[in-house]
Structure 1
Amino acid sequence: MHVPVCPFPSTETFYKFYFLSCQMQIIIFRYYLLHDLSDITSFSGNYNLGLILGSVLGGAVFIILVVTFIVCCYKKEHKSCLYFTSRKKSCDRSLTHDFDGSSNYHGVSVFSYVELEEATSNFDSSNELGDGGFGAVYYGKLKDGREVAVKRLYEHNCKRMEQFKNEIDILSRLRHRNLVTLYGCTSKHSRELLLVYEYIPNGTVADHLNGDRAKDGFLPWPIRMNIAVETACALAYLHASDIIHRDVKTSNILLDSNCCVKVADFGLSRLFPNDATHVSTAPQGTAGYVDPEYHECYQLTDKSDVYSFGVVLVELISSMPAVDITRRRHEINLANLAINRIQRCAFDELIDPSLGFKSDAQVMRMTTSVAELAFQCLQLETDLRPKMDEVLETLKHIQGTYTDQIKDEKTNDSIVDNTECSGEKVPTSPTSDKIVLLKKMHLPPSPISVTESWVSSCGSSNVSG
């Protein structure tokens, strides 16, 4: 059994009082040196006795005060030491039996801190690929030649340990071509908690839509359509595995060299019990993507991911960010803006014109159909949203049907009349007949941290994340 030993008060503290004691003695001796000893001997015996007793008692009181102060300091330091030792033990307890210094954990490699420090050139800022709420990501190259992305988790007390273990537990059990591959991690004894992933060279979808890599024409509509299908495929796979991602957004969708999707960042993901209708948990996620019903009622379901994916679909067709404080107040949230435009059939005010919405009838039909699907995903009530596998089938239908017609319709320059909100119908969920009723309702958007307070109106705030 390990018993933490707290040090006695520091040497510096001890010598401070020792020095003060010496100074008092020097003052007393200086008094005698500055006075004639003959005068002292002429004093009466009673006076000499009183002086001696006074000096002794004064010194004793001083020593008692010093000892008392030192004991108090020791108790305070000892209590503090026990507190921080206890916190450290509580943080590490969940991983103590998992990381025992072995070279393998849950099927992934355990790297040393030094190895990853060398791979990233000592975490040089020029190798930083990006950062998020939980850590910064660096490019690195291992000794075996593999290119990697190393996530360096921020110091978030016990939360970072939970997220660290969460990513390992989920990614080590799942294998899918549209999920990022986890190569390994450091042990709990490492100087820092590091996660090692395959390197995805083309950055995030957010970068290409409205970030540093945004370029006209780099993500034409066929690629965006494929991104939607592959992301839905990854999420449907997660839901079939009883896992809710809980942080679906374009900055967590990576693109490889062929622009194929790799969904990343599972720090907030939750395992969903088979027999449960929802999980009661405090709202977590990114502003602009969080399901309003989850935010208000603290009930997480797989439909919460569907809502977030609806925002992603709108980003793909509009090239607008999920939250933009430069827009008008009621349109800061992209979901709110999209619902307004779709209800008014004003697709030309929503869809990015650079995609060819007005010049290409094929693009017009596809983007309009995707917008209608996004509208279903963004419904206030979870029961009115389609399930992710239904979303996937709808997207495949849109992609497949229209792709097959491209050659036949290249000579057809007619423009589809949008008075019915769509030229064709797409497969919908069994509850889609209720969607029309929602066109007259005001749908509250996902909470935006810059404009709204995160207060639940139908649940206790005393819930676990």
Structure 2
Amino acid sequence: MESLHNHNIHIPLFSLLFFLFHFSSLHFLSLAYEQPDKYFVNCGSKANESLTGRVFTADSSSGFLCLEKSKAVESTNPSQSLYQTARIFYNQSYYEFPIAENGTYIVRLHFLAFSSPINLSSALFNVSAFPTVSNFGFKLLNNFTAKNSSNSPLIEEFFLAIGPGSLKLYFTPQGSSFAFVNAIEVFLAPSKFSPQNYSSSFPLVLRKTYRVNVGDQEITPDNDKIWRKWEQDDRYLSDPNTAKEFRSPNEPHYDGGELNDSATDGFVGADSDFVAPGLVYRTAKVMTDNTTGLSNPFNITWSFSVSVDARHLVRVHFCDIIGQPGNIVFNLYSNGNFITKVGPHNLNWPFYYDFVRSNGSEFINISICPSKDTTTNNAFLNGLEMLEIIEGPALSNPPASVCNMKGPNKIKVGLVVGSVIGGLSLICILIVGILFGLKYRKAKRVETSEWSPMPAFGGGSTHSRLTDGTITGSPMNYLNLGLKISFAELQQATNNFDTKLLIGEGGFGNVYRGTLLNGRNVAVKRGKRDEQGSGQGLPEFQTEIMVLSKIRHRHLVSLIGYCDERSEMILVYEFMEKGSLRDHLYDSNLPRLSWKQRLEICIGAARGLHYLHTGAAGGIIHRDVKSTNILLDENHVAKVADFGLSRSGPLDETHVSTNVKGTFGYLDPDYIMSQQLTEKSDVFSFGVVLLEVLCARPAIDTMLPRDQMNLAEWGMLCKKKGLLEQIVDSSIKNQIDPSSFRNFSETAEKCLQEDANDRPAMGDVLWDLEYAFQLQQTAKHREPHEDSTANASSAFVLPNVLCFPSVSSTINIDDLALPGDDELDTTEVEVFSQLRVGDAR
């Protein structure tokens, strides 16, 4: 997102703000974690309810509920204490909870379809979470139903990494159905919850699928300090004859981290019973005495049914209670794949290990087997937690809601203020000091005119909202370029927007694969229905049409057409066969891109951006350059996509924006502080993409240590220390010529300069990347042991390549504007994939 420059004395402002706000909670986390007393809500009730140490406040007087579109319902038969009432929503509504501290929060939703005049088991709805500090959210439950043959409560549990602000939980009925909830819990999780070995481009969002106590009976919520239920493990054992229970009379030593030096990296010591109850660590499954002749080569295996389309974070709990300290060493496997070696560890010291299991199988098998490094033929497991990783799609722009929060506010203002005032005072002092220093910075900033919002019209007619006015107030006649497609044709192209053809989902709407009447494959992005006529999503819709109807370029995605009938906002693009660049950097199911392919993709994207900045359209700033917006066709040709946030106009005007827009991790820190946008903001974002391409890791990874969390900062810090080659994607390390590597890394460094005036223009970036490609192509032959980036930090021997701009960077057929380009070769405009699930705006 931003560049880390002089790491000894100079800290970029946005990095400092990110650090202060995102980690201000460290002051509090250094204190002992106590049993939480935050938000516990008894939904649909007028009375408070006590349950296992918690007081659930009646939502009608809590101040957390939007009451405009909901009603309470009571059970007609005696039910469990917390499940006598429910809150029903016939329209989208929400609960809002103030969040004072940064951290990982536990969100529990309770559902019981009890007997009532309304058949609760027929409810079908979605639940989404929107932390206000991040401006995007996540769909927690999709097409959820609480129908349950056992007539027992369903408790859905989530872990969300969020910061100070507020958290809105939206309940959205599907179709003509309704939504309901019986109770809600929101509280800060223990500080050591954060997984150790998890990487994602999105903030942490996890959904609990399994929590198992191995070796003993079920643990009920009243025996867990944060009210978790731990199942008994026997039902998951593949072969019960391989394991036996083992119990210890001794309490575990919750000292946290007191592990032997020989312990494998990644293990974490449990510092309290908030990590897992003592009952988990005092019991275990161990190998049976008679293992000879057993068919299972892993000795003990547990098998769990999971969604084939999801990745899971697995946390395994260990505590050596067997009585042979220093001797037990064994291996941990998942689906037959070696994960890590366990032990030896001290007696009665609990610890855990996190790993991510990729999708692709209907089962996750967890196995333990004695290691060859030990003479003790044994292995053990104490507990296991499995959580589904909700990786997307991220939902941008929280739903517009006009709602009064009724009832007295029960927030403990004094507690909140007292808990943060110390940290905030320090933050304010630092911010004021930095802003005072910025007063004396002299730099020219340029921003183009922003697309003005169009007047919104309500649905229900065939009226076209794009023909009533424009940016300048005159009709948009120049949009009549044969791009308009009827809604009826798009219905036919997508089989009436069949969910089987859904390829993406985001804040603007869903993206479907379709086939037009002429046989052309397209991606159809259908905006969400604007029932209230608020105009939400209209500026993006308008901007996308205006930008893409003015330009044609081989490295910019083509707009095939649009539809604005009635209240519809639909955009139709060419279909990109290979999806996004991000898919090929992080998706383990796709072939890894070679270094040459990555260079060609970067060059193609740079050509597209260079044309945007300087082409016949008069200068356009993309404002949302990222790896998900660089799409690849069937030949891996790169095209820049998604122009909903773009700005257009002459590049010599100064303009100050009050709304900084973009994607967290790619935002230009100079733009954030000055609120003055230039084409150099795109250059900064593209520099982050260059590091993503080199290192194959997300721009922001909240699970890494603080100094590694921000890729731009971490990469530049490694560059300055001469260690950048150590974080290069291992799959390409042996492919990169040292000279090409040096040139590429220096190009990224120039793009990531903190001061926008110090960054090169995109044309210069393009030239540098083409030169890096030439260096790679003409690299001298080296012996296999020399063909490595290990030499990249030493003296480089440049091949005999003339340092002149390539023909393509001076006069390039790709850079010619092609207005009205309906007769382009369709082999280049028929393939498009508009932001797969997890990537759609």
Normalised TM-score (structure 2): 0.37
Return the alpha-carbon distance in structure 2 between the equivalents of residues 200 and 417 of structure 1.
Answer: 37
- Equivalent residue of 1:286, what SS? coil
2:688 to 293, 303, 311: 311
Return the alpha-carbon distance in structure 2 between the equivalents of residues 395 and 113 of structure 1.
Answer: 43
1:283-330 deviation digits (Å, cap 9, x = unpaired)? 101110110111111110000000000010001111111122221123
1:93 Cα deviation from its structure 2 partner: 6.4
Taking a change above 3 Å as real, the CA distance of residues 265 and 421 of structure 1, as seen in their structure-2 partners, is: farther
Q: For residues 87-106 of structure 1, what are the structure 2 equivalents within 5 Å? A: 88-89=456-457, 95-97=467-469, 105-106=479-480
Mark the structure with the bigger radius of gyration: 1
Aligned to 2:584: 208
2:597 to 223, 228, 234: 223
Return the alpha-carbon distance in structure 1 between the equivalents of residues 455 and 654 of structure 2.
Answer: 34
Q: Is the 8 A contact 2:622 2:647 kept in 1?
A: yes
Q: Is the 8 A contact 1:113 1:190 kept in 2?
A: no
Return the alpha-carbon distance in structure 2 between the equivalents of residues 164 and 133 of structure 1.
Answer: 12
1:340 Cα deviation from its structure 2 partner: 1.4
Give structure 2 stretches of 5+ with no counterpart: 1-401, 403-453, 471-475, 805-841
Aligned to 1:338: 715
Aligned to 1:431: none
Q: Is the 8 A contact 2:557 2:641 kept in 1?
A: yes
1:173 to 536, 550, 566: 550
Q: Is the 8 A contact 2:621 2:679 kept in 1?
A: yes
Return the alpha-carbon distance in structure 2 between the equivalents of residues 106 and 87 of structure 1.
Answer: 19
1:366 aligns with 2:740: yes
Code of the residue aligned with 1:209 in structure 2: it is L
1:265 aligns with 2:609: no
1:199-248 deviation digits (Å, cap 9, x = unpaired)? 11110011111137543x3x111110100100000000000031000000
- Equivalent residue of 1:315, what SS? helix
Q: For residues 373-388 of structure 1, what are the structure 2 equivalents within 5 Å? A: 373-388=747-762
Q: Is the 8 A contact 1:106 1:169 kept in 2?
A: no
Code of the residue aligned with 1:211 in structure 2: it is D
Q: Is the 8 A contact 2:694 2:729 kept in 1?
A: yes
Aligned to 1:389: 763
- Equivalent residue of 1:380, what SS? coil
1:127 to 501, 504, 517: 501
Aligned to 2:566: 190
Q: Is the 8 A contact 2:467 2:477 kept in 1?
A: no
Q: Is the 8 A contact 1:113 1:191 kept in 2?
A: no
Q: For residues 268-287 of structure 1, what are the structure 2 equivalents within 5 Å? A: 268-277=645-654, 279-287=656-664
1:140 to 514, 531, 535: 514
Return the alpha-carbon distance in structure 1 between the equivalents of residues 497 and 465 of structure 2.
Answer: 28
Taking a change above 3 Å as real, the CA distance of residues 419 and 399 of structure 1, as seen in their structure-2 partners, is: closer
Q: Is the 8 A contact 1:322 1:334 kept in 2?
A: yes
Taking a change above 3 Å as real, the CA distance of residues 366 and 149 of structure 1, as seen in their structure-2 partners, is: same
1:255-310 deviation digits (Å, cap 9, x = unpaired)? 00000011110000001324325553421011101101111111100000000000
1:292 aligns with 2:669: yes
Aligned to 2:351: none
Aligned to 2:837: none
Return the alpha-carbon distance in structure 1 between the equivalents of residues 626 and 468 of structure 2.
Answer: 33
1:126 Cα deviation from its structure 2 partner: 2.2
1:150 aligns with 2:527: no
Taking a change above 3 Å as real, the CA distance of residues 250 and 423 of structure 1, as seen in their structure-2 partners, is: farther
Return the alpha-carbon distance in structure 2 between the equivalents of residues 239 and 387 of structure 1.
Answer: 9
Return the alpha-carbon distance in structure 2 between the equivalents of residues 279 and 213 of structure 1.
Answer: 44
2:538 to 157, 161, 184: 161
1:132 Cα deviation from its structure 2 partner: 3.5
Taking a change above 3 Å as real, the CA distance of residues 278 and 135 of structure 1, as seen in their structure-2 partners, is: same
- Equivalent residue of 1:280, what SS? coil
Return the alpha-carbon distance in structure 1 between the equivalents of residues 612 and 566 of structure 2.
Answer: 30
Aligned to 1:118: 492
Q: Is the 8 A contact 1:244 1:302 kept in 2?
A: yes
Taking a change above 3 Å as real, the CA distance of residues 143 and 213 of structure 1, as seen in their structure-2 partners, is: farther
Q: Is the 8 A contact 1:239 1:302 kept in 2?
A: yes
Q: Is the 8 A contact 2:479 2:546 kept in 1?
A: no
Q: Is the 8 A contact 2:457 2:567 kept in 1?
A: no
1:410 Cα deviation from its structure 2 partner: 4.7
Q: Is the 8 A contact 1:207 1:213 kept in 2?
A: no
1:364 Cα deviation from its structure 2 partner: 3.7
1:375 Cα deviation from its structure 2 partner: 1.2
Taking a change above 3 Å as real, the CA distance of residues 366 and 341 of structure 1, as seen in their structure-2 partners, is: same
RMSD of aligned alpha carbons: 3.2
Higher helix share: 1
Q: Is the 8 A contact 1:417 1:423 kept in 2?
A: no
1:167-225 deviation digits (Å, cap 9, x = unpaired)? 111111101001111111012x334210011111110011111137543x3x1111101
Taking a change above 3 Å as real, the CA distance of residues 422 and 214 of structure 1, as seen in their structure-2 partners, is: farther
1:158 Cα deviation from its structure 2 partner: 2.3
- Equivalent residue of 1:262, what SS? strand
Aligned to 1:40: none
- Equivalent residue of 1:136, what SS? strand
- Equivalent residue of 1:110, what SS? coil
1:323 aligns with 2:697: no
Normalised TM-score (structure 1): 0.66
Taking a change above 3 Å as real, the CA distance of residues 118 and 420 of structure 1, as seen in their structure-2 partners, is: same
Return the alpha-carbon distance in structure 2 between the equivalents of residues 343 and 382 of structure 1.
Answer: 20
Code of the residue aligned with 1:144 in structure 2: it is N
Aligned to 2:357: none
Return the alpha-carbon distance in structure 1 between the equivalents of residues 713 and 542 of structure 2.
Answer: 35
Taking a change above 3 Å as real, the CA distance of residues 122 and 423 of structure 1, as seen in their structure-2 partners, is: farther
For this pair of structures, how many residues does the alignment match? Answer: 335
Return the alpha-carbon distance in structure 2 between the equivalents of residues 264 and 368 of structure 1.
Answer: 29
Return the alpha-carbon distance in structure 1 between the equivalents of residues 614 and 713 of structure 2.
Answer: 29
Q: Is the 8 A contact 2:741 2:772 kept in 1?
A: no
Return the alpha-carbon distance in structure 1 between the equivalents of residues 489 and 504 of structure 2.
Answer: 21
Aligned to 1:347: 724
Taking a change above 3 Å as real, the CA distance of residues 363 and 284 of structure 1, as seen in their structure-2 partners, is: same
1:398 to 759, 772, 780: 772
Return the alpha-carbon distance in structure 1 between the equivalents of residues 692 and 753 of structure 2.
Answer: 17
Taking a change above 3 Å as real, the CA distance of residues 240 and 213 of structure 1, as seen in their structure-2 partners, is: farther
Return the alpha-carbon distance in structure 2 between the equivalents of residues 352 and 277 of structure 1.
Answer: 40
Give structure 1 stretches of 5+ with no counterpart: 1-79, 81-85, 429-465
Aligned to 1:28: none
Code of the residue aligned with 2:598 in structure 1: it is R
Taking a change above 3 Å as real, the CA distance of residues 350 and 234 of structure 1, as seen in their structure-2 partners, is: same
Aligned to 1:443: none
Return the alpha-carbon distance in structure 2 between the equivalents of residues 365 and 422 of structure 1.
Answer: 6
- Equivalent residue of 1:325, what SS? coil
1:343-371 deviation digits (Å, cap 9, x = unpaired)? 1111232211210x2x34x4343233212
- Equivalent residue of 1:197, what SS? strand
Return the alpha-carbon distance in structure 2 between the equivalents of residues 278 and 191 of structure 1.
Answer: 33
Taking a change above 3 Å as real, the CA distance of residues 95 and 348 of structure 1, as seen in their structure-2 partners, is: same
Code of the residue aligned with 2:665 in structure 1: it is G
Return the alpha-carbon distance in structure 2 between the equivalents of residues 97 and 299 of structure 1.
Answer: 27
Return the alpha-carbon distance in structure 2 between the equivalents of residues 364 and 283 of structure 1.
Answer: 38
